[in-house]
Amino acid sequence: MKIEIKKLLPHIYVVLFFIAICAVYFTPVLEGKMLEQHDIAQWEGMSKEIQDFRDKYHSEPLWTNAMFSGMPAYQISVLYPANLIKYVNDVLLLWMPAPFSYIFLALVGFYILLLCFKVDFRIAAAGAIGYAFASYNFIIIMAGHNSKMHAIALVPLVIAGVMMVFDKKYLFGAALAAIGLALEIYANHLQITYYLALSIGILMVVELVKAIRQKDFAHYVKASSVLLIAVVLSILPNITSLWATYEYGKDSTRGPSELSEKKHSDGLDKDYAFGWSYGISETMTLLIPDFWVVLLKKNWVKIRLLTKLWSTMGPGLRQRSL
């Protein structure tokens, strides 16, 4: 396949532009300063004994006495040196510290996704900035949810691979989907991976309807088969961590309880799952901080005028206006 440098140049400039944006925005990070992140501070405390053992004996302790009366270490800090996807991850993150690396990855991933939708590269660059610099991303970074931000940054890359496969670019699309999903699982935030699976499921239904309408069901079957192979390939490098999580989940609060008053308890209920979720009215704050405050301030004068007008109207006129 012949690569035309002229066609690649605009995309190279965009990526360099993304690096420049991150370098300016995260100048304190490049100067060696660090955010004070609550969850990261807690994790450092939990993993201290594990890290000390690792440094001293150069092997992985699979148990720690530092938490509760002791617990498996593989839900706190375990390295999997045989998982070579780590090196791909390091390259994509430019070996840069967080959160520079995650925001850069989100920029590039969403840019590629919009290109798959045939969006002009300039608009795609603007859209990528909107996605990466959404206010919610910085809220979770401040809290220390680094793995969550890592997983969110990789979501567009996986969907881009799926879109390419359905666009009949089977080999390249499957490779992108497989690498993207392998990295997504490696980020180790299965909540976001679950949301990604739901999104791809909806996309698959849309493509199925499209295939039926266009009477091209053979293409749908081929694309689905290729993507299934990509999923299997993405799981294989991460099978150790996934299997450990699956086994441990049965004995955690997410597994069945021996002490539940209910006859059948299959883990946590819906209220727990949605306890920290955004409410419907908060949705716009994903993109715009203090959305409702800004909206109300802009419309405060109008609201006051309407209230005053309503209060001066007689009962009969009010009834007629209703």
Question: In the structure encoding, which two tokens stand for residue 166, read together?
Answer: 């359905």
- Distances in whole angstroms, Cα of residue 124 to Cα of each of 120, 128, 137, 167, 209: 6, 6, 19, 18, 27
Q: Residue 318: pLDDT band by 50, 70, 90 thresholds?
A: very low
Each residue's pLDDT tens digit, 103-153: 999 999 999 999 999 999 999 999 999 999 998 899 899 988 999 999 999
91 pLDDT exceeds 80? Answer: yes
Work out the average pLDDT over 58-64. 89
52 pLDDT exceeds 80? Answer: yes
Angle at 36 between CA 35 and CA 42, to 5 degrees: 130
CA distance 98 to 150: 9
Query: Bridge partners of 64?
Result: 71
Q: With 0-12 CB in 10 A as exposed, 13-18 as middle and 19+ as buried, what is 226?
A: middle
Q: Residue 299: pLDDT band by 50, 70, 90 thresholds?
A: low
- Distances in whole angstroms, Cα of residue 245 to Cα of each of 49, 161, 179, 250: 21, 27, 21, 9
Question: In the structure encoding, which two tokens stand for residue 55, read together?
Answer: 């440094």
Give the pLDDT of residue 321. Answer: 47
Give the pLDDT of residue 261. Answer: 59
Dihedral, 117, 123, 125, 126 alpha carbons, nearest 10: -120
CA nearest neighbour of 181 among 221, 141, 229: 229
Q: Residue 281: pLDDT band by 50, 70, 90 thresholds?
A: confident
Work out the average pLDDT over 90-94. 90
CA nearest neighbour of 13 among 160, 116, 111, 131: 111
Each residue's pLDDT tens digit, 20-51: 999 999 999 888 888 888 888 888 888 999 99
Give the pLDDT of residue 5. Answer: 78
CA distance 311 to 86: 66
Give the pLDDT of residue 70. Answer: 85
Residues above pLDDT 90, as percent of the chain: 53
Angle at 54 between CA 49 and CA 143, to 5 degrees: 55
Q: Is the dihedral of CA 156, 198, 277, 298 positive or negative?
A: positive
Question: In the structure encoding, which two tokens stand for residue 291, read together?
Answer: 């959305």
Q: Residue 67: pLDDT band by 50, 70, 90 thresholds?
A: confident
Q: Which residues contact 78 (CB under 8 A, 6 or more apart)?
A: 50, 60, 62, 241, 244
